[in-house]
Structure formats: C-alpha cells, structure tokens
Structure 1
Amino acid sequence: MANVRTGSRGRRTTFNSASARHQVGRGTEEEDSRFRNELSARQRDGHCPIPITFRTMSQPPEGEQTNVRHSCDVEPNGESEAARVERLGRQRPEKLGSLWKEIGFVFSIAMSQALTEYFVSGFTVIVPTIVEELEIPAASTTWPASVFSLVVSAFLLPFGRLADIYGGFPVYIAGFVWFCAWSLIAGFSQNELMMDFCRALQGLGPAAYLPASLTLLGSMYRPGPRKNLVFSIYGAMAPLGFFAGIFFAGVATQYTMWGWYFWIGAILTFLTTLTAFFAIPNDFSEHRNSEVKMDWLGSVSTACGVVLLIFAVTASSHAPNGWATPYILVTLILGAISLSAAFYVEGWIAAQPLLPFDIFRIKHVRPFVLGLLFTYGTLGIFLLYATLYLQNIMNLAPMMVVAYYIPLAVGGCLLATLGGVVLHRVPGTVMLAITGVAIIVDSLLFALIPNNPNYWAWIFPAMICATIAVDIVFNVANIFFSTSLPARQQGLAGGLANVLFHLSVALLLGFADVVAIRTAYQGERQSYKNAFWFELACGATALTIFMGFVRIRRAESDLTADEKEALKAADDTAPAEDKR
C-alpha cells in the first residue's frame, strides 16, 4: 500500500482494481516525479500487470490527505496485485459468511435451472398421454410443449430489467412463488385450453427467476476459478433437472396419473422457495436508490413481436393453407412490425433501452449470439423427436425411455462440473468447437438409425453427444455474459443468456415441426429423421460461425467488468502528456 501525504500542488488520480473506483491524492511535482519513477521501475520489473496512467487535474481543497492505492502496489505481506486478483478469484464472497451459507445459496440458485429443465424435458414424455386424455387434436400437439418456452423467451428481458431495478432476491422469490402456484394448478387441467393457459402462465415464473438467479450469481462472484465452478454447478443442474423431469413423468404416466408430474414439481418448487428465502442475501436495499428505469415501450413491443412471430412459425405447419393462411400472414406481419418497432425504440427512443446496443460492441458478441441461436434450439429438437422416436417408432414404455436417457443426465452432470475445472485452462473457442461437432454427431446418429438399432452403437453415443453439445456451450455463454457486463447490468446478462436459450428452443422447434409435417407423406419414421437432419444443419451452421468469427479466451481470474470500465475511464480522461 502506498501512503501519500498530499501537499498543495497538483492532483493525481489512480485506479484501485480491488474497489473499482477512482481515488484522488495530491503531491508536489517533485513527489509526483519520484512516484512515477518508482511505479515505472515496478512496471519494468514485471510487478505491475495493469497499465498506470498519470494526470494533473485542478487543485483540490487545502488540507486534504488521501491514501492512494495503485494497481501495481505490493501488499505489506509481499503479495502483488496480480496474485491478489488471483486469490480473490478463488475466495468465498464476503456476503456468504460460511461454507454452509454458500452451499445453501448455490443450491437455491442452481435449483432454478433444474426445475426449469424439469418442466421442459418431462413434459415431452407425458405429451402422448395428455393428448389422448384431454383429446387434443394432432394439429395442436406442439403447443403445450412450446408455449412454455415461448412465454419464457418473450418476458426474460423485462424481468431481467426488474432484477436490475429492485435486486435479484425479490424478483427471484416472486418468480418461484408464481411458478409453484401454476405448476400446482396445471395438474388439474381438464382440457386443451386450460393446459395451454397453465403452461403459458407457468412460463412467467422462469422468465422472472432465471435472469434474477444469474443476477445474484454474477454480482456475488468475481471472475476466477470459484466463479467458474459455481456456474458449472449451475449448468450441471440442467441435465439433473432434465432427468428428474423424464423420470417423474415416466412414473406418473405409467403407475399413477399424469397430474402427479406437475404436483411433484410444485412440491420441489415450494421447498426451493423456502430454502432460497433464508439462504440468499436480500439485495433489495442495495438497489433502493438505483437509477435504472423500466423500458415499458421496449418491453411491450419486444414481447408482442416474439410471441406473434413464433406463433406464426409454429402454427404454419398445421394451418389449412400453410403460410398462405390469412391468420398466419397477419400474425407474421404484425410480429415483424412489432420487432421493427422494438428495434427503433431500443436504438433511438428509450433513455435506458431494455437491450442496449452497447452490448453488441463487446468483441465477438454479435457472431457469438448468432451462433447460440443456432445451437441452443438443437437440444429442444433432440429431446422432442428422440422421445417421439423412442415411444412411437420403437414402442418403448415410458420407464424404458427414462432408462435410455440416463447417460444424457449422468454425462451432463459430470461434464458441467468438469467445466469448472477446465474453463480457466481451455479457451472458450475450443469448447465451442466441441459443441458444434457434438451436435452434428448426435443428430446424424438418429438421422441414420436403422430399424431395431443396437442401443450401445446408436442411442448411447447420441445421448452422450447431446449432453456434450448443450452443457459446454451453456457454461461458456453464462460466464462470458456475466463477466463481460458490469454489476448494474447483471439482470441483462442473465436475461440475455436465458432468452437466447428459450428463444432458440421455441424458434428452431417450430421450424423442425414444419419440416416434420411437410414430409409426413414419407412416413412417421422418416419425418422424425428429417427433423434430425434439420438439427444437423443448425449444428453445422453454428460450428461454422463459432470457428470463423468467435474468439473467446480462457475464463481466468481477472478484474471485474466494473473495474475494467473504471480503469478505461481513467485512462481515457488522462491528458496525453501524462500517458507518455
């Protein structure tokens, strides 16, 4: 720590990477010169990992004394700033006072991912039973499965903004309470309309708690191995929730009644809500004086545009005249107009846009987002059409389908947790390449699967590749967005990461349904295989984008986005002569 007593001449501002703020000190020109020479010597010796800038500003009030901490200071114990940043990246956050407190926090947040996947994956298993018992027509089969992801994707960004305004804790708890209530009600559905209505309102729960969960995680942990591990645990809960969903769905449909699938989910949601209430630090007071405002115009236009557009895509394959059906054309045009209006509002009208265009100035973020849209939805295609193939073509009982999916769940947990160990050692671009190849392999295996296939030769490797495909890219994307955005935009980071997932699932699942329906004349087996060919095309496109245009480095211990932002601001405002 450098303690500098100020005099009456000159002013010096430096950046403290630990506190992410500018601190001001004063000294004579002679003191300034000695100080610069000392720091320059440290920088030449390799002790200063962060560039230092000096500048002279207006004279401050007399008699002021300030302690100045520089980015290349050496602690009294001999620890360099680089070592300090590395140490902080491995420490437990101060707000989580004990290991048990941290375990409760991580469990509560991770369960948000597990429960969302529970109601995505398991529902595909009970779809045949629900279609039969509720007498849902074939043309409407896709809606109960897709409306959940549709609502989630449409409202993630508005709820992410609410998390930035009021804090992650209140939005997280409110989302879980709502989700628990509608999960309970959905189990009592008596017809198609009630089921679709309950599934849609269910989707508002994850739309609230998913961005809030990433707000809490992103603001709690600094960049480093500990953050990588926690985010990997968060990602590992996706395959665990996926397997829990298909397991309880199989048990409910084969041994009891399908309503128990929803009621078990409601019980798990209630227990998670209770744990979260006591384990998650309440950050509402920290946001009480927040200057972040809601972008209502952008929220409405974006949500309407997404809903109308995906409705047109999904319903077109079942409409009497396809895309030429009047209501399909109307919803498609209205959706395009609404999204165009949202683009204009976000770019030129909103004072605080829901999705600031500045986020797309982050290096490689535009091709990365495009690649993710082609990547995430492949999981939805694989889950739905693999389940339909196993049940309708191979005539497997629900519990046998559950057994077939075990490798996907176990492999997903292992891979996601392993990611916490390797993400700070392996470049993200390499991980994205593995993702693209895995998508191509899992879709190719089902596209070419023969009659009466050998499980170990065809289905087992497809399941392993499917879990590789989604779990790796999910961790890379979450850490990338969380680390790249400052603390005030962690709700945006969580919203964007999740909206890309659910929007991609809803959109690509709609197009896959179009492919399957349009080729139904080739037979049910081949129409399912054609959906897998479409998945392969999406995976190949994503791989091309990732390899050609995206470069993501290792997720090492580093300054936070706020600290980098403040350091850049300090450097930008320094006079040119002081930078030399």
Structure 2
Amino acid sequence: MAPTRTSLVTASLCVSQFVVTYANSCITAALPTIAVELNISDANIQWPIIAFSIAYGGFLVLFGRIADQFGKKRMQLVGLAWSLIWALVAVFSRNEIMLDIAMAMQGLGAAIGIPAALGIMSVIHTTEQSRNAAISFFGAMNPLGAVSGIILGAVFTQTVGWRYMFFVPLALEALALVVGALSIPASVDHHLQNPVKSEESSLEGTSQEQDVDNGGSQTKGRVNGLGAVLITAGFTLLTFALAGGPVAPDSYKTSYIIAAFLLAALSLIAYVLLEFKFAKNPLVPRTFWKIPGMPLLMAMALVVQMSFFSLATYCTFFFQRVYLETPLTAALHFVPIAIMGFIVATLSGYIFTHVRNLFALIVFGSCLLAAACAIFGTAGVDTSYWVHPFPGLILSVTGFELIFNSLSIKIITAVPPSDRAIAGAMFNTCVQLGQALTLSIAVAVVSTATDGYADPTSPQALAAGYGRVLLMDCGFAVAAGLLACFEWVRSARTGAAGPTSARKDEDVVLGESNDEGVVEGK
C-alpha cells in the first residue's frame, strides 16, 4: 500500500480514538453548567458520563468479534457514522434523558468502531517499526483527546455555550468517515473472502480440528449468539454497577446496584461455562487465553488504567476544589500531558523496535507512574504547581504511554489478523472496567479520609482525601510493575518473551490490494 494512503488510513483511525476520549472528557468540564440549564439534580449529574461508559464497555467484545467476522472496515465506518449522528443529537438535547441517550449512543458507536480500528491499524503497517509507531500514535490519542476535551469543554462552556463542544467530534468523525471510506483497503478483511489455511488461521498454530475443539478463530459469519448476549449483559451490568454505585441514593447498598452486581456475576459465570465447555463457536477464541502471558497482560491493562485514570480525574478535582481555580485554568494545567504524550508517541516507533523486551519498558513505565502518583499525592493547599503537580503530570503520562503502548503491541501482534479486533476489544474492555472500578474505590477512599474534618468539603480536607487516592494509585502502578516482573521472569525461564507475533498470518494479508480487494503478494 502506498505510503500516502497508509498515512491517510492511520490518521482516520487515530481520529476515531481521539474522539472517544474527547467526548468523554469534554462533558466533564461542562457538567455543572449543563446541570443548571437542563435542570439535572446533583444525584443524576454524572449520568451522561456513566451512560457513555456503560454502552462503550458493555458492547466492546460483541462488536470486536463482529468486526473480525463481518469486516473491520465496515464496522469502523458504521461506528463513525453512528457516533456522528448522536453527536448531532447531543447538540440539540433539551432535557436530561435526551442527553443521556445521546451520550450512551456515542459510547455504542465507539464500541462498534474502536476494536475494528485497532485491528486495521495492526494490519496495514507492514514493518515492525511502522506498526509500533502507528499503535503508539493510536494510544497517544487517549491523553491528547482527554486534555483537548477538558480544555475545549471549558472554553466553549465559558464562551459560546456547551452545545458547541459537540461540533468538534461531529466534524472530525465526518472527516474520518470520508477519508476512511476512500482509503482503507478491502485487503484488511481478506481472510473473509479467502480464509487462511488451517495451519495459519488459528492462534499459536493449532490445526483446524483443534480449532473447532479448542475455540480458535471462527468460521466467517458465525457468532455465538447466546455467548454474545451473556457477555454483553454481564459487562454492561458490571459497568453500570461500578459507575452508578457512587451516585446511587444509598451508594453500593442501593437495591438496584446490588441486583446489577448479582446479575452481572451470573451472566459472566454463565458465559464462561458456555464458552469454555459447550460452544463450538466461542465469542472469544479459547486459544486466545492459552497464549503464554495473555491473562497477565490483561490484568496489567486493568491496574494501569486504574492508576492513571484515577490520577487524571482527581488531579482535575484537585485544581478546581483545592486550588480553587476556574475550569479553564485547571484545564490548562494538563497541556504538558498532551505535549509529553505526543513526544513519547513520536519516539515510540524507535524505542519499541530497539528495545526487544517490552516487559522492561512496562516495568520502567510503572516506576515512573508510581513516582508521579507519590509526588502529586503529597501536594497540599499551598503547594506550588511547579513543585508537585507539574513533575507528577509529566512522569505520569510518560510512564503510562510506555506501558499502554507496550501492552497494545504485545496483545495485538500476538494474534493473527483474523482475531485482532476481538483482541483489541478485550484490551479496551479491561481498560473500561479499570476506569469504573478505580472511581468506585476512590469515592470510598475520599469519604473515609475527610470524615475527621469539621468541614469535609474544605480545601484542606479534600487535599487529604485526594492525596490518599493518589497514593492508592501509586499502589496500582506498583502492582502493574510486579505483574510485568513476574511475566518477565516467566518468559525468561521458558525462553519466550511473552506473547509473540502471529507472523504467518500477517504475510497472507499484508500485500498490496487491487481495486477488487484481492491481495497480491509483494
């Protein structure tokens, strides 16, 4: 594929990832104003964010498998178009319910498109260095989108109005939709027209007979319907319970939150039994979990996101409620994150190509992230931004980018192209669950830390509470580093550096494609 075309595809895919984090963060800065205009109660003020998270986290696995079975390009474009429509609906929202539905549908659009985007990204780049750089830039869209959302959300809210902030994803998604439709080659879904041979199609080189028995790559167009219902219901209910618990009338003791947890547990247990014991076409190939180190990689993704997302969230609270700054001034403090994230992403292609053991980078990144949390966690009411927050933010984004991109590369390149959308979906599901889980824990931590103060909402009390949360985040970062060390030692003993790339299958699809989408080898 021509370099210009590859660059266009990469840019359109990165835009789709940027929009996801932008949409989820811009509304955070605007929520107080939105609540007043739409008459949203304090108890329901978080529901636009929660609605997005529920739809996104709950449907990732389902649409990841659908993308692998029915076409990554098709699902990427459908996801963009769907999100575009509902971004427009959000602009014209007239009440709380309309806004909640619009945000939930944008989350659904992200769940449709993001797994496919990550799968396409890993397929169109034919060299290790370009693939690593592309996946790193894709990952850099997370902090860049989040910071842009916080800043632009504050700017629009304080100037022309909060509704205008939704025109940003609307315009970007329209552009990415057109560029993607014209530039994404049909060869990214070549395995659907010409299924790869048995020895190349399954994870870790299992035979076609083993693939049926053990749940390897599926036959084109076949999805385990019951498994899809169970895992979607399970993750949706779990995300709802974790995210909705802190804002429920009686917190996690609320009856519907308890019911959601129980139903989520039952759904996920039933899914595991069905997929691992009975299903001939499992939603997630059973061999996916048999790849050496894969469960630990998913666990690392969970705890790393718990650390970084909580840090970013409570840093925002710290600036606004401890330093008593305006939303816009607080947002500007995050500019270094965007700049540093872009620098790390730019260098990542070189770094990841020359550092052969990515577990070393994960351990190093975990140390940086833990140090960032510890530094910021000791900040007080009178602490200068340049003494604690600034170095904490710089170290945090550097460490997070190294970890996140290393994990992305490890997970995506460990499976053949026919399974990369579902691999990306599982990775992003762990990320979403990490976000919901860490915020639910953080609420309890802040409450406990501020109970001893005469005024629990005073800057001094909140500084103590937020500091306790950041020290908790330090522990999550250390846990990620320990998991990486464990896998590093395990892989050294077995002579394999964790999950390895599925090279054979890549060779089938990474040739040039003609206008009919038929792959022509180089």
Q: Is the 8 A contact 2:306 2:437 kept in 1?
A: yes
Tell me how far apart the structure 2 counterparts of residues 188 and 514 of structure 1 sit (CA, whole Å): 36
> What is the letter of the counterpart of residue 537 of structure 1?
G
Q: 1:490 aligns with which of 420, 435, 457?
A: 420
Tell me how far apart the structure 1 counterparts of residues 137 and 250 of structure 2 sit (CA, whole Å): 47
- What RMSD, in angstroms, separates the aligned Cα atoms of the two structures? 2.5
Tell me how far apart the structure 2 counterparts of residues 357 and 512 of structure 1 sit (CA, whole Å): 34
List aligned pairs for 1:177-192, cutoff 5 A: 177-192=81-96
Deviation at 1:146, TM superposition (A): 3.2
Q: Deviation string for 1:85-141 (max 9, x for gaps)? A: xxxxxxxxxxx2x22212211111111221112112323222232233333333333
Secondary structure of 2:353 counterpart = coil
Q: Could you tell which deviates more after superposition, 339-348 or 219-228?
A: 219-228
Q: 1:287 aligns with which of 178, 192, 203?
A: 192
Q: Report the counterpart of residue 30 of structure 1 in structure 2.
A: none
Tell me how far apart the structure 2 counterparts of residues 333 and 394 of structure 1 sit (CA, whole Å): 40
Q: Is the 8 A contact 1:236 1:414 kept in 2?
A: no
Tell me how far apart the structure 1 counterparts of residues 369 and 35 of structure 2 sit (CA, whole Å): 30
Tell me how far apart the structure 1 counterparts of residues 116 and 507 of structure 2 sit (CA, whole Å): 23
Q: 1:506 aligns with which of 430, 436, 441?
A: 436
Q: Could you tell which deviates more after superposition, 315-324 or 184-193?
A: 315-324
Q: Report the counterpart of residue 530 of structure 1 in structure 2.
A: 468
Matched, 1:368 2:297: yes
Q: Report the counterpart of residue 437 of structure 1 in structure 2.
A: 367
Deviation at 1:212, TM superposition (A): 0.6
Tell me how far apart the structure 1 counterparts of residues 501 and 275 of structure 2 sit (CA, whole Å): 31
Tell me how far apart the structure 1 counterparts of residues 428 and 225 of structure 2 sit (CA, whole Å): 20
Deviation at 1:561, TM superposition (A): 5.0
Q: Is the 8 A contact 1:520 1:527 kept in 2?
A: yes
Deviation at 1:328, TM superposition (A): 2.4
Deviation at 1:164, TM superposition (A): 0.9
CA change 1:537–1:247 in 2 (3 A) is: same
Q: Report the counterpart of residue 396 of structure 1 in structure 2.
A: 325
CA change 1:285–1:554 in 2 (3 A) is: closer
Deviation at 1:563, TM superposition (A): 7.2
CA change 1:145–1:236 in 2 (3 A) is: same
> What is the letter of the counterpart of residue 15 of structure 2?
M
Tell me how far apart the structure 1 counterparts of residues 504 and 437 of structure 2 sit (CA, whole Å): 32
Q: Is the 8 A contact 1:173 1:209 kept in 2?
A: yes
Q: Report the counterpart of residue 542 of structure 1 in structure 2.
A: 480
Secondary structure of 1:451 counterpart = coil
Q: Report the counterpart of residue 200 of structure 1 in structure 2.
A: 104
Q: Report the counterpart of residue 560 of structure 1 in structure 2.
A: 503
Q: Report the counterpart of residue 55 of structure 2 in structure 1.
A: 151
Number of equivalent positions: 469
List aligned pairs for 1:70-469, cutoff 5 A: 96=1, 98-222=2-126, 224-283=128-187, 287-288=192-193, 291-292=219-220, 293-426=222-355, 427-469=357-399
CA change 1:520–1:258 in 2 (3 A) is: farther
Deviation at 1:313, TM superposition (A): 2.8
Q: Is the 8 A contact 1:423 1:555 kept in 2?
A: no
The TM-score, its normalising length taken from structure 2, stands at: 0.84
Runs of 4+ with deviation above 6 angstroms: 552-559
Tell me how far apart the structure 1 counterparts of residues 450 and 45 of structure 2 sit (CA, whole Å): 15
Identical positions, percent? 27
Secondary structure of 1:424 counterpart = helix
Q: Report the counterpart of residue 477 of structure 1 in structure 2.
A: 407
CA change 1:561–1:513 in 2 (3 A) is: farther
Q: Is the 8 A contact 1:319 1:325 kept in 2?
A: yes
Q: Is the 8 A contact 1:223 1:483 kept in 2?
A: no
CA change 1:135–1:452 in 2 (3 A) is: farther
Deviation at 1:172, TM superposition (A): 0.4
The TM-score, its normalising length taken from structure 1, stands at: 0.76
Structure 2, unmatched stretches of 5+, are 196-218, 509-522
CA change 1:102–1:223 in 2 (3 A) is: closer
Secondary structure of 1:423 counterpart = helix
Q: Report the counterpart of residue 446 of structure 2 in structure 1.
A: 516
Higher helix share: 2
Tell me how far apart the structure 2 counterparts of residues 557 and 301 of structure 1 sit (CA, whole Å): 30
Structure 1, unmatched stretches of 5+, are 1-95, 566-580
CA change 1:285–1:440 in 2 (3 A) is: closer
Deviation at 1:369, TM superposition (A): 1.4
Q: Report the counterpart of residue 207 of structure 2 in structure 1.
A: none
Q: Deviation string for 1:404-449 (max 9, x for gaps)? A: 1111000001112211111122221111112222222222233211
> What is the letter of the counterpart of residue 118 of structure 1?
Y
Q: Could you tell which deviates more after superposition, 128-137 or 488-497?
A: 128-137
Q: Is the 8 A contact 1:224 1:556 kept in 2?
A: no
Secondary structure of 2:388 counterpart = helix
Query: Which has more radius of gyration?
Result: 1
Tell me how far apart the structure 1 counterparts of residues 164 and 472 of structure 2 sit (CA, whole Å): 34
Q: Is the 8 A contact 2:245 2:257 kept in 1?
A: yes
CA change 1:509–1:405 in 2 (3 A) is: same
Deviation at 1:314, TM superposition (A): 3.1
CA change 1:265–1:558 in 2 (3 A) is: closer
Q: Report the counterpart of residue 201 of structure 2 in structure 1.
A: none
Q: Is the 8 A contact 2:48 2:100 kept in 1?
A: yes
CA change 1:557–1:506 in 2 (3 A) is: closer
Q: Is the 8 A contact 1:218 1:482 kept in 2?
A: yes
Tell me how far apart the structure 2 counterparts of residues 420 and 216 of structure 1 sit (CA, whole Å): 18
Secondary structure of 1:456 counterpart = coil
Tell me how far apart the structure 2 counterparts of residues 446 and 144 of structure 1 sit (CA, whole Å): 29
Q: Deviation string for 1:450-489 (max 9, x for gaps)? A: 1132121111111112212321122112211221101221
Deviation at 1:506, TM superposition (A): 2.2
Secondary structure of 2:354 counterpart = coil
Q: Deviation string for 1:165-215 (max 9, x for gaps)? A: 121111000000001111111122233322222211110111011111112
> What is the letter of the counterpart of residue 272 of structure 1?
A
